[in-house]
Amino acid sequence: MSQSAFRLSAPPPDERSGLLGRLLTLIAYHRLGPGDRLPGERDLAERFGVGRGAVREALVVLETLRVIERRPNSGIYLRAVEKQGSIEAIVLQAELGIPLTGAEVREVVELRRILEMQAMRLAAERRHEDDIRRLDAILAQGAATVSAGKNLADDDAAFHLAMVEATGNHVFLRVVHAFYLMSRNRRRAYFADGRRAPLSQAQHVAMRDAVAAGDPDRAEAAMGGHLRGVESYWLELLERRAQDE
């Protein structure tokens, strides 16, 4: 691929975030795959109109996230991101406004089910009074949000993360937290019109009650019913998008 194919417009004000976004967009736009070589630091700096230091910082971030690798005396190459990239790379992509592919959304939805169904069982088995008080406080805030007709997305995330925290497994919590970071914009869109918030809030209450009662089967079933509605929405949306393309 010729180097001229990598020319992009001037960077936005936030230099590092802008460069990260442009580098990831470059990779997606040019359909670069594992093993493809990127331009060097000097060339990228000239084409983006920024200093080499800024380019180097952005590349270090992508290298840390295992999106790229530097080969001594050879250059900068794209890794097999689907197999080797970190979960934080997907979070970064979402936070920079680069949409996930349809396949990635389906896989994230599937991963959420796997993680949160198990989280409910563990939370019901391990919860403490502090966990129930935390869930109750979040539910109270959620009820106020629903009554005010505001977007429930932040309260929804807080509830689900508090439920995972009740498992007592903090590595589990960190993994699920990454999921909620990458899905933040999608959740705000999901709750935007206010119609789904009351049902979601009621389902949260049912999940809280099952966990407080120490009933893993009931807790898992409550989460399963909750997730089915959310998954149907996203999968139908992806189907419509595919038909429009």
Cα distance between residue 19 and residue 10, in whole Å: 10
Number of CB atoms found within 10 A of residue 213's CB: 12
Same-domain status, 68 and 118: no
| Domains contained in the chain, number | 2
In whole numbers, what is the pLDDT of the chain averaged over residues?
86
Q: Strand order in 37-38's β-sheet?
A: 37-38, 75-78, 68-71
Entry pTM: 0.76
Residue range 173-213, pLDDT digits in tens: 999 998 888 888 888 989 998 999 999 999 999 999 999 99
Position 202 scores a pLDDT of: 97
The proportion of the chain whose per-residue pLDDT surpasses 70, expressed as a percent, equals 89
Position 8 scores a pLDDT of: 37
Q: Contact, 85 vs 67, CB < 8 A?
A: yes
Please give the residue range of the domain that contains residue 206.
100-244
Task: Summarize the confidence of residues 151-178 as an average pLDDT.
Answer: 96
Same-domain status, 75 and 112: no
In a domain, 131, yes or no: yes
Q: How confident is the model at residue 137 (pLDDT cuts 50, 70, 90)?
A: very high
Q: Contact, 19 vs 91, CB < 8 A?
A: no
Pair of tokens at residue 85: 């990239």
Beta bridge partners of 76: 38, 70
The proportion of the chain whose per-residue pLDDT surpasses 90, expressed as a percent, equals 46
Same-domain status, 125 and 202: yes
Same-domain status, 193 and 228: yes
Say which residue the tokens 């019913």 belong to. 225
Same-domain status, 197 and 116: yes
Q: How confident is the model at residue 88 (pLDDT cuts 50, 70, 90)?
A: confident
Cα distance between residue 178 and residue 157, in whole Å: 11
Pair of tokens at residue 235: 């999968």
CATH code, domain carrying 55: 1.10.10.10
- Is the pLDDT at 70 greater than 70? The verdict is yes
In a domain, 167, yes or no: yes
Least confident of 80-94, 137-151, 160-174, 214-228: 80-94
Same-domain status, 121 and 53: no
Q: How confident is the model at residue 102 (pLDDT cuts 50, 70, 90)?
A: confident
Same-domain status, 133 and 189: yes
Same-domain status, 23 and 113: no
Position 10 scores a pLDDT of: 36
Residue range 3-39, pLDDT digits in tens: 433 333 333 445 667 888 888 887 776 677 889 999 8
Q: How confident is the model at residue 69 (pLDDT cuts 50, 70, 90)?
A: very high
- Is the pLDDT at 156 greater than 80? The verdict is yes
Residue where a domain stops, chosen among 89, 118, 150 = 89
Residue where a domain stops, chosen among 39, 56, 89 = 89
In a domain, 94, yes or no: no
Q: What is the dihedral of CA 150, 241, 5, 57, to 10 degrees?
A: 30
Same-domain status, 176 and 212: yes
Same-domain status, 76 and 194: no
Residue where a domain stops, chosen among 57, 89, 121 = 89
Sign of the Cα pseudo-torsion (16, 20, 26, 29, in order): negative
Same-domain status, 104 and 202: yes
